A and B are shown apart, each in its own frame.
Chain A
């Protein structure tokens, strides 16, 4: 579904992604871990098409197409969904408006009829209920004044309504209370299926207990320095990231080596 080859990207001339290779097949769940500032969000944003990140090398194929050539909205309509680490507040635009515009955009793209107001509301309400969100959230401005956890739930609500093929979840588990984590995890698990894939960035073992990944990768200084199964996450939990830099150095050969 997603093939990333030697992806390199810079911000303001500063290289952030320095050769990422990653393959995600339909049906799989991948977890990406790694220290702060290692490039996890950058990777997610580049995949979603954020301007301002300059792709300086490599390629990304999504369902066989050149993902990087597509506008962000086309990626979204083709089924790529990014749950933001920091969901953006948009005063004056209601959640309902955004959801409806997004959903009908996707449906038109797929050759499906647009949903009318009744069907739309029924669909959204049902999903909100599952997410434990109050109805009035629908008519509030997108993320404006939402608590950290409410913003994250809102991202998952959007995901459940839009039913993407590839979900990129950037620290959707951060800042959630225990119940919310369960709700969000249920939302992600409901997304799983043979036709879909999930890439989730996380710092915590906790989420991986609820959503068991098929693969775990460690991103460090813009490269994937280690990949493994579920056990890798447990090992990281115990040992931190320090041991990896050294381990990664010979095989990855970073130009500037991290201070020991």
Chain B
């Protein structure tokens, strides 16, 4: 453990704790201090931790990131900020956070069905903490970074969808970082009651190039029969560090879909978990990571089949250029008694340069006998035969490469169900791929 960095975080906590939301709510204060103690116990993970074998947090250790007390006005956001970010054209409700603080002036929440809440978590911690108590302290999957988030959690989205209610339009959580050296700990909570339906987009972007640390946690409670789609767009700037946990707890017959589109940050680590905690759940975890230069992007997923009759599907793809590094670790645990589990996992990686690397590891742990579990992982280059075929039809080599890369990545994007979102992500992908501008679908 790096004691110096640990002590720095602890000192920062002491400095800002009184100004964190919920400072007058006993259970919040208790949760924060328990979480801090847990973090202080172990410090940041190191390469010696099995789960962190390929991803070093040394660059956090070396740097002093400053926590932003929640009293700091988030409204310092420059006017026109929202327009400058490419989320225009996305329909639905938008709730904006600048440097971890909700900015109502930039947000626009349209008409919502009765009982639906789309708002700021900090606000909810002050005004209706009793609604959060059952969810918030619980389940950050007991990770050290989750604990760090709980200690510092400042603001984030709180979405509550009552029983049987479907929110038709996507709800967009937009996080914008503007401050150098800031440590941001956004915390999001989505509660879908029985039979509820919601689609959320969690987007993280920076204003310019910002060397900041984001350590986000999103908790999703998908009750019995609910349908929840969560789409994460991580497009932070090239100096940023992005750490994130997304944890879904599923009730009977619920359907949870996660998409993790990761194109940004110098160092990114995403821990995504789904716990199929009752019978007949369906979970789908999809992901696409694009990295170039010296970017490092890590996805650790974990699917717990805790009960019988669950189905899980996992489709992750990576495109790695330059001297970038990708990590995928897909853990699937079929617990005793989780009979008739049907789990499938695939991770395919495309290396566009000789210096790019990827470590991919499926990790299946099966403690039931009547199960169907399959997995497959590949690492390869663009197919020479396909490239030649395209060139023999007159496509420039660069265009042919982009086209094939795009086709490879699109497999993941096509799994996004909300069509407006799918189109948005596709544009993002095109903008990000080398030569992507040339790849356009014919009318």
Contact = CB atoms under 8 A, between A and B. Distances in A.
Interface string A53-82: 000000000000000000111011100011
B399 interface: yes
Interface residues of B, number: 26
Interface in B263-289: none
A226 B351 CA distance: 47
Nearest to A168: B392
B395 A73 contact: yes
A50 B388 contact: yes
Contact of A92 (B385, B389, B408): B408
A72 B390 CA distance: 9
A73 B403 contact: no
A101 interface: yes
Interface stretch (A35-43, A83-91, A128-136, A242-250): A83-91
B392 A101 contact: no
Interface string B430-443: 00000000000111
A98 B400 CA distance: 10
Interface string B13-27: 000000000000000
Nearest to A84: B389
Contacts of A93: 390, 403-404, 407
Nearest to A92: B407
A4 B372 CA distance: 58
B391 interface: yes
Contacts of A158: 393
Contacts of B406: 92
Given A52-B384, A88-B389, A102 B397 contact: no
Contact of B442 (A49, A77, A88, A120): A120
B4 interface: no
A91 to B, nearest CB: 6
Contact of B393 (A51, A76, A109, A117): A76
A94 B386 CA distance: 13
B411 interface: yes
Chain B CB within 10 Å — which of A77, A82, A101 has the most?
A101
B369 interface: no
Given A73-B395, A90-B407, A100 B442 contact: yes
Contact of B410 (A92, A96, A102, A162): A92
A71 B394 CA distance: 10
A90 B386 contact: yes
Interface string B62-98: 0000000000000000000000000000000000000
A100 B393 CA distance: 10
Interface in B387-423: 388-397, 399-400, 403-404, 406-408, 410-411
A51 B388 contact: yes
Nearest to B442: A100
A125 to B, nearest CB: 13
A75 B388 CA distance: 12
A71 B386 CA distance: 16
Contacts of B383: 88
Interface in A94-116: 94, 96-98, 100-102, 105-106, 109
A31 interface: no
A82 B396 CA distance: 16
A166 interface: no
Contacts of A117: 442-443
A117 B443 CA distance: 6
A12 B250 CA distance: 56
B390 A97 contact: no
A93 B442 CA distance: 11
Chain A CB within 10 Å — which of B390, B396, B441, B443 has the most?
B390
Nearest to A101: B395
3 closest residue pairs by CB, A with B: A92-B407, A117-B443, A76-B394
Interface of A: 48-52, 71-73, 75-77, 81-82, 84, 87-88, 90-94, 96-98, 100-102, 105-106, 109, 117, 120, 141-142, 158, 162
Interface of B: 383-386, 388-397, 399-400, 403-404, 406-408, 410-411, 441-443
Given A92-B410, A96-B442, 11 more contacts: A72-B388, A73-B392, A76-B391, A76-B393, A77-B394, A90-B404, A90-B407, A91-B411, A92-B406, A93-B403, A105-B395
22 contacts: A48-B392, A50-B388, A71-B391, A75-B392, A76-B393, A76-B394, A82-B392, A90-B386, A90-B390, A90-B407, A92-B406, A92-B407, A93-B403, A94-B441, A101-B395, A101-B399, A102-B393, A102-B394, A106-B394, A109-B394, A141-B407, A158-B393
